[in-house]
Structure formats: structure tokens, C-alpha cells
Amino acid sequence: MPSTRTRRLARPAALLSAAVLAFAAAGCGAPDASTAIPTTSPTISTSAGTAVGVIGIRDPWVKAADKGMTAAFGTLVNDGDTDVTLTGASTEVSPMELHEMTTQDGKMVMQAKQGGIVIKAKSEHVLQPGGDHLMLMDLRQPVTAGDELTFTLTFADGRTQSFTAVAKPFTGAQESYAPGHGMPGMSASPSPAP
């Protein structure tokens, strides 16, 4: 029969072993996008880096901005066998729209992306300055370099997925906003870069 001292040591040792196993499992993190396995879970929460859920989200980031508009970028990865359509995005710091860049009267302008963003099966779709992006329309607070923002994506089939992106300074891609799209009062004059 074990002594009282042995029983007292066995319990903390078992708890420590369980904690080490849990930590080791959590430390593995999400697989990189090349090995990501899409899931059918209705809501997935993930963190910065490579997010995996309905789709993989590689290297997400947000352009730092004091006010007005800004945008979120990254690479959307669909390792599944069917196309996935992203129809919306949201965050607590601003209303959002899915945007694209297009040429109007010889100028690059951004506008709402009608029909959403399709991520083809077994492929990637890059969100980048000067291309498709997730637009934060009217910031309620500054987004400072180093801030972490949580976004929720909505897909055509009703699934959602959350991810976190870090804000970074960026001064390129000074586009105009196409008139007739987005927030009331917007014009085609230069605006903060997405």
C-alpha cells in the first residue's frame, strides 16, 4: 500500500503531466496553409499567423490608420474540393465591405466587390494593397501599429470564421474611392490607402 507521502506526490505529478501534455498540444499551433484541413464547423476562432477554419488565412495584417478608412490583407487559402465564397466581414472598430480595385477613366479606384470573393478549390486568393481587400469604412478609433484586431468572415453557405490580424504601418497604394459605392458622402477624391 502506498504511503501518504507517495499519494501526495502522485496527485501533483499527474496534474503536472496533464498540464505538460495540454501545453505541448497547444504549442503545436495551427498547421501551415499547405497542410491545412478545412472544417465544416459553423464558427472557427483563430489567431494571427496562419488561421485555419472554413479557409486558411495566411499572414493577415491591417494597415495602421488614425481615422477614416483602412484595410485588412492576407492570403485566403482553400484546400477543399469545392469553391468557397466570402460574402462579408466585420470587426468591432468599423463597418466593413469587401472591396476590389478597378480602372475608371484611366484611374485606379476601389469599389465594393459584387458577389463576394470566390476562393477556388485547391487554390489561394491574395488580399493586397492595390487589389482585393477587406475595407474598414469609418474607423471608430485609431488603429495603431502593433494593435491586434479580430475579424469575422461570413461565407455564402452561412458559416463564419474569426481571425486576428496585427496592424502595420504602410504608405503605398493611394487609390480613389469609386463614387456611388459604400458610405454616404464618399467621393472619388483620394482617400487613405487600403
Q: What is the tens place of the pLDDT at every residue in 94-108?
A: 999 999 999 989 998
Domains in the chain: how many in total? 2
Provide the whole-model pTM. 0.66
| CB-based contact 192:87 (threshold 8 Å) | no
Pair 77, 168 in one domain:
yes
Pair 16, 45 in one domain:
no
Looking at residue 52, its pLDDT comes to 57
Pair 17, 77 in one domain:
no
Pair 64, 2 in one domain:
no
Per-residue pLDDT of 30-72, as tens digits, reads 333 333 333 333 333 344 444 558 999 999 999 999 999 999 9
Pair 20, 54 in one domain:
no
C-alpha torsion sign, points 193, 177, 104, 71: positive
| Residue 182 falls inside a structural domain | no
Alpha carbon distance 65, 69 (integer Å): 7
Pair 16, 75 in one domain:
no
| Residue 190 falls inside a structural domain | no
Domain that holds residue 107: 33-177
In this prediction, residue 145 has a pLDDT band, given cuts at 50, 70 and 90, of very high
- Main-chain dihedrals φ then ψ at residue 12, nearest 5 degrees: -60, -35
Give the helix/strand (H/E) hosting 24.
helix 4-27
Q: Kindly provide the residue ranges of all beta strands, DSSP E only, lying in the chain, ordered along the sequence.
A: 43-45, 50-52, 56-63, 70-78, 84-91, 96-104, 107-112, 117-119, 123-127, 133-136, 148-155, 160-168, 176-177
